[in-house]
A and B are shown apart, each in its own frame.
Chain A
Amino acid sequence: MMMEILLDPTMLSDFLSTSLRLSIPVVFAALGGVLSERSGVYNIGLEGMMLAGAFGAAVGTFFTDLPIVGLVTGMFAGTLTAVVLAVLAVSLGVSQIVAGIAINIFSIGVTSFLSRIVFSGQANTMTLPGYKAFAIPGLASIPIIGPVLFNQDALVYLMYVTVPLLFYLLFRTSWGLNIRAVGENPRAADTAGVRVNMVRYLCVLGSGALAGLGGCYLVLSQVFLFSEHMSAGKGFIALAAIILGRWNPVGALLACLLFGLFDALQLRLQFANPEVPYQAFVILPYVVSILALVGLVGKPRPPGAVGLPYRRESK
């Protein structure tokens, strides 16, 4: 079965496309998580922000029939959810883990409730306009990887741009230096004149927008409708991808692709091996990530001040 996938070029590129599609929403959420945690705020609420983003995208597109409006409203809904985290974690100094979990639970409830009002129970049968795949001339004709990477929809191309942009922002600009300083040692950053909580606010809001974008992908590129709890745990996989990717946008991207690859693989392995319990395949992506965490790279070192609220007056 493995050999069949690897040898047949159409099957191989089909398999790789599935892997890519399964990882895109997780990539966006993981990028958001990297941004937030680099500034010193754990974002456990990625799952909830993604779900809010999906709902926002569906509502915006539903009322205007324009996916671009859905994209904006989706990112806005993600950002709005992030405001809650920012207020709780940065201003009020509540435990960031607890605040994040609360956001996830809150988001499941409020999106279900609102979707029943807005779509009056018909959310599962509608088909919203969205982004369809289009080939980039030239690049798409590269054998095997061409159709995988360059015959996708607009949001996938947006992801290709976002990853290097975020990398550049974090590691090559003075803003990025501020963000990382705030995440490593907020007191030193404060002494140097960086407005710690302002930076954290912006990063958490940006994080929400990115996670919301992941939700937009689910609705506008993948299934063209909103379904309750459609994020289905993708935000939690993103949390693992952040650690596996060492709080680096490129690393997080690779980690997500690894998940996507094994998720696609397990779907195919199952029906080739019906005698093996399916749970063995379902856990494959997670087993691989644990092995990668333990074996591939040394001890992870999170940003120094992540999880700690900053109070100027405290010592």
Chain B
Amino acid sequence: MSLSRRYFLSFAALAFVSVMLAPPAMADAFKVALVMPGNITDQSWNQAGYEGLMNAKKELGIEVAFSEKVAQPDQAEAMADYARRGYNVVIGHGGEFQEAANRVARKHPDTLFVVHNGTEPAKNIATLDFYYKQFGYLLGVIAGRMSKSGKVGFIGAQKIKFSTDLVAGYQEGFETVQPNGQVFIAWTNDWDDIAKGKEAALSQIAQGADVVFPTMDNAAIGSLQAAQEKGVWGFYLYYDSIVDWPDTVLQSAIMDIKAAMVDLLALAKEGKAEGKNYNMDVNSPKAARLGTYHSAIPADVKAEVEGLVAKMKSGELRP
């Protein structure tokens, strides 16, 4: 081969420079940056975050930027970089960004940091989270009513507050209906490994589970596929997923981070957002609600669940 390193490098350098010469962003608009752990096409948590950001851009006329697939070691640098570039709000999309936000926020007191599912609000750190246990509980009750075998599955990627709260509620709700039933819990340790998500669900189904509740990002699709192939029920999160899985999904916990983001960013734009926790539950149905019931769910079960929602709204029921 006559291709030499010098030619190769000069072409590569040329390509690099032409990419870097893209026009710079304009100054002095209200600027928001979103840093995400995964990719924006996962039909799940990250996609919801991205769409929320885009909705905010459209509705509030703000300038936005985002980074995808930011790994744990790069979180602080990614957030600090946006803060240095003058972004007014920097959002970490997931509870795993809390540590990084704590470190960066002290050095950038004029920037508001928002941590979705965060646990420690501070002077310039706001956290936005959902009452996950409520929704886990409601789905658990439906699982209990729909399971014939008395065995249901829950699949998570990692044990973080989001998934431990969900599973605790799910178990609690399920056990109110089927006290002697069994909840199989599997952790795959991977949000993206779709094949493993499928195998985890298949092995729960093989052991008798007839309702499975996957809570990963990309990988959850694999679990729902397993449920569809084996003819058992599934649950899902974030959007009304029955449109994509009409014969599989019983109900979805729509935790609409999109709506919540737009509301919080509107406050921030007016300068009214504070360093506190913004919690979304059944009382903020725009952001957090149940989706469409599958037609196989009997009317009395529906009524029971709606009754529970009403009790949660009044504060009588706190799972």
Contact = CB atoms under 8 A, between A and B. Distances in A.
Partners in one complex: yes
Interface stretch (A59-67, A69-77, A223-231, A248-256): A223-231
Most A C-beta atoms less than 10 A away, residue of B4, B39, B199: B199
Interface of A: 11, 14-15, 18, 21-22, 25, 87, 91-92, 94, 108, 112, 115-116, 121, 123-125, 197, 218, 222-225, 227-230, 232-233, 263-264, 267-268, 270-271, 274, 278-279, 282
B247 interface: no
Interface of B: 1, 3-5, 8, 39, 41-43, 47, 69, 153, 159, 184-190, 192-196, 198-200, 202-204, 206-207, 218, 221-222, 225, 244
Nearest to B5: A92
A264 B203 contact: yes
Given A124-B218, A125-B43, A222 B3 contact: no
Given A223-B221, A271-B185, A232 B39 contact: no
A228 B218 contact: yes
A229 B199 contact: no
Contacts, number: 111
B307 to A, nearest CB: 30
A116 B50 CA distance: 14
Most A C-beta atoms less than 10 A away, residue of B42, B43, B194, B218: B194
A14 B206 contact: yes
Contacts of A115: 41
Given A223-B221, A229-B218, A267-B203, A22 B186 contact: no
A223 B218 contact: no
Contacts of A14: 203, 206
Q: List 10 A-B pairs, minimum CB-CB distance, nearest first.
A: A232-B193, A271-B184, A278-B187, A91-B1, A124-B43, A282-B189, A228-B39, A227-B218, A14-B206, A121-B41
A268 B207 CA distance: 9
A123 B41 contact: yes
A7 to B, nearest CB: 14
Contact of A22 (B1, B3, B196): B196
A242 B230 CA distance: 35
B221 A225 contact: yes
B199 A271 contact: no
A222 B185 contact: no
A268 B203 contact: yes
A112 B218 CA distance: 13
A223 B194 contact: yes
A230 B188 CA distance: 14
Given A222-B198, A232-B193, A264-B203, A124 B39 contact: no
A232 B225 contact: no
Contacts of B8: 92
A228 B186 contact: no
Contact of B199 (A11, A18, A94, A278): A18
Nearest to A109: B69
B221 to A, nearest CB: 5
A228 B69 CA distance: 11
A264 B195 CA distance: 12
Contacts of B221: 124-125, 223, 225, 227
B122 to A, nearest CB: 29
A120 B192 CA distance: 19
B185 A112 contact: no
Given A230-B192, A268-B203, 16 more contacts: A21-B199, A22-B195, A87-B3, A225-B194, A225-B221, A227-B218, A228-B42, A228-B192, A230-B194, A230-B218, A267-B199, A271-B153, A274-B185, A278-B159, A278-B189, A282-B189
